Amino acid sequence: MPPLEFAQQLKTKFGPVISEPVEFRGEITLHLSDAGRIAEVGEFAKTVLGFDYLVDVSSVDNYGEDPRWTVVYHLRSLKHGNELRLKTDVSEEKSELPTVMTVWKTANWHEREIYDMMGIRFSGHPDLRRILMWEGYPYFPLRKDFPLAGKPTDLPGVAFTKPAPLEGGPFVTVAGGEDAIHREPRVRTPEE
């Protein structure tokens, strides 16, 4: 059965809270308008439709828009080889949605990373703590309102005491140049 038929089954089961399937370059995406039902939709997708593998959970910061975030679930069936993408929106006021760890255990680290980098909380998650930044870090570095130059800190030895520079340095390529070799940072000399 093609993925579009599985998407139609989700649409039939959940009605108006699921958008019409959108196909782009062979990939099917559904939008869930009620973020609070993501675990219920995921459970149906897993147990009835056979989407037994949660490939990834990611988030998008729509800074300046409401709702602020979009959380994207990439589902795959190892049995029939199909993939579906589920999207749902989370407002800045609530910034929380239910965990899908009750459906797919692999959501554990994905949800922790989204919490750590974006500040979106997952209710019911058994161990929602930072996974990349240290505990007590007051910011969410992948939000669009986080300054590109970083933030200063008073904690010596934990992070930079000054904002980290983003220009220059040994790993920045040079625009232009006669060919790819001359654009590589390793061949640059200080006078170039």
- Return the CATH number at 25: 3.30.460.80
The pLDDT, as a whole number, for residue 175 is 63
For the stretch 9-45, pLDDT in tens is 999 999 999 999 999 988 999 999 999 999 999 999 9
The pLDDT, as a whole number, for residue 75 is 97
153 and 125 assigned to the same domain: no
Q: Count of residues for the chain?
A: 192
Amino acid type, 125:
H
The pLDDT, as a whole number, for residue 187 is 47
29 and 78 assigned to the same domain: yes
12 and 107 assigned to the same domain: yes
DSSP 8-state assignment for residue 127: T
Q: How confident is the model at residue 133 (pLDDT cuts 50, 70, 90)?
A: confident
For the stretch 72-100, pLDDT in tens is 999 999 999 999 999 999 999 888 999 99
Q: How far apart are CA 61 and CA 69, in angstroms?
A: 5
- pLDDT surpassing 70 at residue 103: yes
The pLDDT, as a whole number, for residue 162 is 57
Sign of torsion over alpha carbons 109, 110, 111, 113: positive
Higher-scoring residue by pLDDT: 148, 70: 70
175 and 132 assigned to the same domain: no
The pLDDT, as a whole number, for residue 136 is 83
For the stretch 137-176, pLDDT in tens is 888 989 998 887 777 766 655 555 555 554 545 555 556 6
Q: Which domain holds residue 171?
A: 147-192
159 and 103 assigned to the same domain: no
Q: Coil, strand, or helix at residue 126?
A: coil
The pLDDT, as a whole number, for residue 13 is 95
190 and 130 assigned to the same domain: no
The pLDDT, as a whole number, for residue 2 is 85
159 and 91 assigned to the same domain: no
Token pair for residue 56?
């990834």
For the stretch 180-191, pLDDT in tens is 666 665 544 555
Q: Give the predicted TM-score (pTM) of the model.
A: 0.78
